[in-house]
């Protein structure tokens, strides 16, 4: 499976890409494979300050539903609109067109403390 080196990861199977204090968040290739066909992504926490580890949304797949956990503290500013009509992008391109939200990060250094690609690889085995 593919876990790009330029991303950071959480044990809850989210990935984070940081530019300045803006982070893009999605779920990993492993996570989309476990969930199967994704039906939609629900995020109703835009503009609300959240702590690291808080539930920021849910992802519904045909077979199951799963919570989404915010990797670091901050405020979500944007949901990927493309997922509204094409939720399957999360399955087909989890690190690209299937990104889920953008957020402003309270403390960009916190991102550095997340798992790197090899650390995450050992989580999923």
Partner 1 sequence: MKNTALTRTHIAAGAKMVPFAGYNMPVSYTGINDEHAAVRKNAGVFDVSHMGEFILKGEHALDLIQRVTSNDAAKLKAGQAQYSCLPNNEGGIVDDLLVYCMEEDKVYMLVVNASNIEKDWDWISQFNSNNVEMHNISDKTGLLAVQGPNATRILQPLTEIDLMNMPYYTFAKGRFAGVDNVVISATGYTGAGGVEIYFPVETDDEDNNAVKIWNAIFEVGMADGIKPAGLGARDTLRLEMGYCLYGNDIDDTTSPLEAGLGWITKFTKDFTNCTALQEQKKAGLKRKLVGFEMVDKGIPRHDYEIADEQGAAIGIVTSGTQSPSLGKAIGMGYVNTAFASIGTPIFIRVREKLLQARVAKLPFA
Using CB under 8 A, list all residues that contact partner 1: 33, 36-37, 39-40, 42, 58, 60, 62-63, 65, 91
CA-to-CA separations, 95 to 26, 27, 80, 98, in angstroms, rounded:
7, 8, 12, 6
Contact yes or no for 14/28 (Cβ under 8 A): yes
Contact yes or no for 119/109 (Cβ under 8 A): no
DSSP annotation of 108 reads T
Distance in Å, CB of 20 to partner 1, minimum: 33
Distance in Å, CB of 27 to partner 1, minimum: 16
Distance in Å, CB of 69 to partner 1, minimum: 15
Q: Which is nearer to partner 1, 2 or 20 (CB)?
A: 2
Q: Which is nearer to partner 1, 60 or 106 (CB)?
A: 60
Q: Which is nearer to partner 1, 40 or 118 (CB)?
A: 40
Q: Which is nearer to partner 1, 17 or 86 (CB)?
A: 86
Q: E-assigned strands of the chain?
A: 8-9, 14-19, 22-27, 38-42, 49-50, 55-61, 65-69, 74-79, 101-105
Distance in Å, CB of 61 to partner 1, minimum: 8
Contact yes or no for 40/83 (Cβ under 8 A): yes
């Amino acid at each position: 499976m593919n876990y790009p080196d330029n991303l950071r990861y959480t044990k809850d199977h989210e990935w984070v890409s940081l530019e300045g204090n803006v982070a893009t968040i999605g779920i990993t290739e492993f996570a989309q494979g476990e969930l199967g066909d994704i039906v939609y992504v629900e995020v109703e926490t835009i503009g609300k300050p959240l702590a690291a580890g808080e539930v920021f949304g849910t992802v519904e797949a045909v077979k199951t539903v799963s919570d989404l956990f915010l990797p670091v503290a901050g405020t979500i500013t944007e949901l990927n609109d493309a997922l509204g009509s094409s939720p399957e992008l999360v399955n087909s391109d989890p690190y690209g067109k299937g990104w889920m939200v953008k957020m402003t990060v309270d403390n960009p250094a916190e991102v550095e403390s997340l798992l790197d690609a090899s650390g995450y690889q050992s989580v999923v085995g």
